[in-house]
Amino acid sequence: MDTDWVGRRIPALAGCILTAALVLMAPAARAQATLPAQQGAQISRHVFGIGISVGPVSGIGLSFRHHLPTRFSYQVTGGIIKVDDKLSYAVGGEAQFDFTRKESERFFLVLAAGYYYSGSAGENELQGPGRLGLGVGAEVSLGGQVHASGELLFSYFSDGNVLPLPQIGVHYYFY
């Protein structure tokens, strides 16, 4: 029996629950904070964010997000940990295109890619370390300049598996 599948179910379920909670909190968050001046779904200047992102496609760890003064944003994520002789890391990125942007929330299309490594002696123990994903995401203000996002992506693993999986993140924006 493939025990890796069971181990992936619990985090995926937790991610789905958190994503649903974020979407349900969006109406309450509307009046808490606003992005800089914007026209429709576009903001009028560059906005930068730093935070934490967790996802099976675009990486796990610290992340940097840049909203351009258009409908386009990108994010890079990376994290590394070493315990004894076992090294694990994940690096990845996302391109985001805003469908809608309101004062304290947005809904976007996301294209993501990442690479995961876990092993020792230079041998990756993961069966599908390369990942690509396409899906949708939502972001809401948690108050002030802190925003939370959730995404649901159809995720392709380099071993041939395709699964619908969630991703989450929390960022602090500088504007």
Higher pLDDT, 38 or 175: 175
pLDDT at 1: 42
| CATH label of the domain that carries residue 123 | 2.40.160.20
Q: Is the pLDDT of residue 171 over 90?
A: yes
Query: What is the count of structural domains for the chain?
Result: 1
Q: What is the mean pLDDT of residues 62-77?
A: 96
- Reported as a single tens digit per residue, the pLDDT across 117-149 is 999 988 999 999 999 999 999 999 999 899 999
Q: Is the pLDDT of residue 155 over 70?
A: yes
Higher pLDDT, 162 or 19: 162
DSSP string, 79-117: EEEEETTEEEEEEEEEEEEEEEE-SSEEEEEEEEEEEEE
Q: What is the mean pLDDT of residues 2-20?
A: 52
* Structural domain harbouring 41: 3-174
DSSP code, position 71: S
Percent of the chain with pLDDT over 90: 68
Q: Is the pLDDT of residue 7 over 70?
A: no
Q: What is the mean pLDDT of residues 140-159?
A: 96
Using alpha carbons, list the distances in angstroms from residue 120 to 117, 130, 161.
Answer: 10, 18, 24
Greatest CA span in the chain, whole angstroms? 55
- Reported as a single tens digit per residue, the pLDDT across 26-69 is 444 433 334 544 445 556 789 999 999 999 999 999 999 999 99
Mean pLDDT of the chain: 84
Contacts 24+ apart (CB under 8 A), 89-93: 89/116, 89/117, 90/59, 90/60, 90/61, 90/114, 90/115, 90/116, 90/117, 91/59, 91/115, 92/55, 92/57, 92/58, 92/59, 92/131, 93/58, 93/59
Q: Is the pLDDT of residue 23 over 80?
A: no
For residue 132, which of 107, 154, 164, 165 has the smallest C-alpha distance?
Answer: 154
pLDDT at 5: 45
* Alpha carbons 137 and 117: distance in angstroms, whole number: 25
